[in-house]
Structures are given as C-alpha cells and as structure tokens.
Amino acid sequence: MKKSEGTAARGGAGPGTKTRSSGAPARVQPHGAVFILDGATGVVRQASANAGELLGVPSAALVGESLDILGGDLASQVRLRMRERVGETPTPFVCATRALRSGARGVAGSIHRTRDGVVVLEAVPCPLPDAASDSRDLANALGGAIGHVGGATRLSELAAGAAVLYQKLTGFERVIVYRLADSGVGEVVGESRVGPCDPWLGAGFPDLDALGSAPKGGFAARVRAVADVAAADVPLVPPLLEAMGSPPDLARALLASVSPLLRQHFRDAGARAGFVSVVERSGEPWGVVAGYHPHPRPLPPALHKACDLVADLVAARVAVIENFAQVASASTIRRLDEHLLAQTLAGGLWQETVLDDARDLLALVGADGLALLSEGQIRRSGHAPSDDALRGLALWLAAQPMQGGVMARDSLPNGLPGTLNEGEERMGVLAVELSRPGGEFLLWFRREAARDIRVPSKGGQLAGLGSRPWSHADVASAKAVAVALRDVSMQVRSMSYLLMEDRLEGLSRALQGSDEGILIADGSGCVRFVNQAFRRNFTLPNQADLTLPDLRSAFGTSAAAQSLVESMLERRESWVGELPVDAGGASQACIALRVEVIPRLDGFGALGFILLSSIGAGGDADASAHSRPGADASRTLESLGFSSRHAAELAQQILALVGSAASDPGHVRAPGEALH
C-alpha cells in the first residue's frame, strides 16, 4: 500500500508533532468551567467564558474575587488543597456550590499547579448524590481491576481484559487497545464493544500512531478526552495573564482543548465523544487505549485519574509479559551462541551454523523467512526473497542510517536495485546490522497480507498491503541476536588473527634465515618485508616506509635495471634477469633477480610483489673462466657419443653464447622463456 503522511514510522514525525495532542491555547471544552488562581492567595485571575452559564456567576465578576462567591464548600476545598502544596498532577475531588437554576449543587473538580506557579481549577457540574455514588463504584471497580488485568499471562489476554475494564469504567460503546508499531502502522490487539459495531481487531490507524509518536511533553496529560466533537471550545477571560503577558499552560488540564487530529479521528470513526489513554513502557509510548461513543459523553475528573491508573497497571503487566518473553529469547540466544562457537571451533563456518537454528530464530520474532548476508554469500531459510532482491536490499540498507543497528518495515521499499520479480511474494523486513561497512546483515521476513488501514485523510477505510507490524519486543530480540552473532564473529576472527600472526611469525623467521634475498610488497607498492640477504645484495634507502619506487636507485641505471623498473612498476609484469652491481675494486658481480606480480583473486589489480635475488658469476670473468665451461662442455658431448671434432665445435658455440650473455647483462629473459 502507498503510505500516507500518517504512516511514517515512529520517531519520524514532522516539526508540528509536539502539538498533536493539544488544541488551541487558552481555550477549554464547554462542559466544564476553568479558573486560573493566584498560587499564593487563591484569587481568581482568569475564568472560562462559560462560568456564568454553568455556575451562575459571570466570568468578568469572578476575576479578582475569591471563590467564596460561588457558595458551598468549593472555596474551602480549594484552600485546603493549596495548603497541602498542590502538585503538577491533576487531583480530583467532589464538592458543592450554591443551588443553580437546574437544582444541581455538585461539582466534580480537579486541581493542579503549572510550572508558571499558577493554580488551575477545573469544575464540571453534576448532581451531588451521583458524584458520591460514582466515587464508591469507581473504587470497587479499580479494586477488581488489579486481579482481572494484573493476572494476564499473554498479550492478547491482557489487551482484551484491559478493553473490557476501560469500557466498564467509562461506559463508552467501543474501547480498543492499540499497539504502536516500530515500523509502519500498528494494530488493534484488544477490543470491547456493545451495540451494532463492526469489529476492528487487527485494524491499523495511522493517526493513532502519529499521536503515540509525539515527542515526550506533547502529550503531557496521558489521558485526553473530548466530550463532544461538535461543541465549540470557549476562551478564558481575560485572554492573557497580566503578570506574564501570555496564556496559562493548560497542557495537563483535563478540560483543555484537544488537537484537531484527535477530534478528526473520533469524527471519522462516527463518534461524538471519545478518549485516548497512552500506555507507556519504560518511559516510551507502547500503545494507546481509545474509547468511542455515538453521543456526547464527558469523562469526569475521577475517571480521568482512574484511566491513568489503569494505564499504569497495563504498562506494568506489559513489562512483565515482555520481560518473560525476553528471558525465553535470552535462553534461545544463549544456546545459539554456544552452538555457533562450538561448531566454529570444530572447523565450521559460523555463517553456516546460524541456519542450523533457523527454526528457533524464526519463532523468536514470529517470522516466515530468514536470510544471512555475509562475506558476499547469501544463506536463507523459509520464505525469503530472491538473491537479486536480497543483494539490492543489502545495498539499500548499507546506505541507511540504522538507529541502533536495526530497521523494521512492514513492507519492502519500492524501487530497490534487483527489485522483486513479477509475481514474487512481497514481505515485511526486520534487519539487523552485523558489520559496517562490511555489509553483513541478518534479515527476518514476514509475508504481506491485506490489512484494514483506516486513514482519515483518505476518507476512512482502505485495504492496504503490509506484514503484521514488528513489535518492540521483536526488535529487542533481533538486537540481542545481532549482539550474539557479532560477538561470535569477532571471537572467530580474533582467533583467526592470532593463528595468522603465529603463522606469519614462523614464516618471517624462515624467510629471514634464507640465503636468497627476499623482498615482499603489497599491491599498493608498500614494502612489507625485507630479509638481510636482500639488503646485502642491494643498498636500500634507510627509511621506515619503503616503497617499490624507492628501489630505483638501488637497482642502478643500466638497461636491465630500467627494464626491471618499467616492468614492475608501470606494466606490473613479472621479470627474470640479472643486474650488475659493484663487487668492490674494479670488479662487478651479477645479481640474478626474479620479480613475481601476484594478482588478486577477484582479478582487479595486484595482491602484491615478490622479489627474489641471488649472486651470480661476475660479468668480467677472465678467459680461463670462459674456457673451463667450454672444455667441460666438450668432454660432456664426447661422453654422449659425439666425435671429438664435432664435440669441440658445439662446445665453442656454447662458449660464445655464454660470453655474449656475460658481455650483455642487459639481456632479459621473459618469465617462462627457455634457454637454447
């Protein structure tokens, strides 16, 4: 499915995210009155414009006055709580005011202090007997909730129980428990409904994901309710606080205006009233409990507090269930770690051993397929894309900023190199990075299926494609597997390094003790090894970072030396021949030199260079030295059956060839060239 603006992964919200859960500043919902009180005296500094309609005293008459003007015990209840140092969390209470035209005297109140030091008082008129009985019923309901929800052992059981509990507490027609996704769109994992409601279990709501992904502080009140999406909010009078010259902070006020996004969500769902309660796991939003009702329905302050308490209870149980799953995952990963190390020490490859436990790894995150991309090789198990698609995916992943070394998506991105072939099954992917920039990844896949995605901006319900969302627990398990694999691979590679170092030390001793001169350089021309025999044959520059071009002066300026340098450095060709060097006095010695260019296995460039040298016969040897090889050759030819005369002629030809080579040290024999 083509994702809308609301389907971005959590954490990818735009600049306006911080106000998604809050509405217009200094405006409140009209079913209750709001008062801004002086933090020291309790005098009213601002009042909502509906105070006269709800409590019988116009807001203009209340500003600058004490709450005693409202009658009843409201003022005394507020003074009592102000003496008890009102905090930032709204505290509900029930009190009475003077009788109004409707006869109602009860007030469901809430009070808290803002960071600016002012006190926010919220008052919702209600019949006094009902308010008292509601408080008793609420206490009983919360007492039963601890056993009902607190004993759940599976997430599905917890979500279903929480939805039922919220519905009983609030009386809303439908309540859902919505788990946010680490990628794409989350899903409804629990639901309780009455009346003719179609089921939403498994559905996705991008706007709920957007609410859950708002930065901390944007949803200062974890419970937000709107009593009537069609009702217009009312302002505070006067609009600004005189001392501060700004509107008061109503981020935690229960009656504060809700965001247009939340209001639109309820409107698109066909509801007149609704609420959302954020469930936080380890300080981060895990999910959202949302309630819907077809008629206007306020959520009194006591129910706000109760929903907040239940959200804490659900969050604590989510932590228990997920921690239990993580313990089981840790046991699986520990077995994998031990198996990988044992098999590798026995001579196997850890990459091949990973797939021995493919079934456990698939079950760990509820995946359909698994693929390991390491050192240019692809290994897979279950339902995974083709090799071309996996290579394209690896190239794409290597260029992405993977936070924490993990990426979860409910659908493979379009337009990748080596994209899926026509008719090939599309999948969601959970990827963990094993090395960077090595391009090693472990990938889990889930099959895509048609999903019920409800996008307000698209006019309601859409059928989209995507895999079941990856949960926070899935991502945590994948990270733990990646840590284990990285640990094993580093152990194996470290052991290989030690073995190679030991082998290299032995080779170095053997090469250093050779009578033949040896010089080894890498593909870039940096000299890595020179033994003493090579240094005796040639005078090398006295520097630590010796390179092949530095050998020009050591090889001399003869034609043979120039040919060697050109073949080795410019054409990168092997070379066999002799070089004359000063042997002291007026004599010269010939150094037999062989240069081998070692190509890379992939065919691109040279892996390195090997130079072997040994001392040969002097180029200016005397005549007796020349005659001896001829006499020896004559006798050898006679022993083979040649006549004395014919043997002597052939010996002279051999002598001439030897003398020619000695007088022309520039002659170079190509590699593999035979001597005639």
Q: With cut-offs at 50, 70 and 90, classify the pLDDT of residue 144.
A: low
The two beta strands, 27-28 and 234-237, are: antiparallel
Task: Write the pLDDT tens digit of every residue in 37-57.
Answer: 998 899 999 999 999 888 888
In this prediction, residue 626 carries a pLDDT of: 32
Average pLDDT over residues 485-500: 77
CA max distance for the chain: 150
546 phi, psi to nearest 5 deg? -75, 140
Sheet of strand 106-113, all strands in order from the earlier edge strand to the far edge: 27-28, 234-237, 44-48, 33-37, 119-126, 106-113, 91-96
Q: With cut-offs at 50, 70 and 90, classify the pLDDT of residue 469.
A: confident
Task: Write the pLDDT tens digit of every residue in 190-203.
Answer: 999 997 888 999 88
pLDDT for residue 153 is more than 50: yes
In whole angstroms, what is the distance from residue 516 CA to residue 307 CA?
86
In this prediction, residue 137 carries a pLDDT of: 65
| DSSP H/E element including 482 | helix 472-512
SS3 493: helix
211, 36 contact by CB (below 8 A): no
Average pLDDT over residues 618-643: 44
Task: Write the pLDDT tens digit of every residue in 479-489.
Answer: 888 887 787 77
Tokens 């004599």 belong to residue: 587
pLDDT for residue 10 is more than 70: no
Q: With cut-offs at 50, 70 and 90, classify the pLDDT of residue 276.
A: very high
Task: Write the pLDDT tens digit of every residue in 208-239.
Answer: 887 766 544 445 678 999 999 999 999 999 88
SS3 545: coil
pLDDT for residue 106 is more than 90: no
580, 571 contact by CB (below 8 A): no
Average pLDDT over residues 573-590: 72
In this prediction, residue 220 carries a pLDDT of: 67
SS3 417: coil
Q: Choose from 118-127, 226-235, 501-510, 638-647 the range with maximum mean pLDDT.
A: 226-235
User: Which residue blocks in 346-380 are alpha helix, DSSP H?
Assistant: 350-354, 358-365
Task: Write the pLDDT tens digit of every residue in 318-369.
Answer: 988 888 777 777 777 777 777 777 766 666 666 777 777 788 888 888 889 9
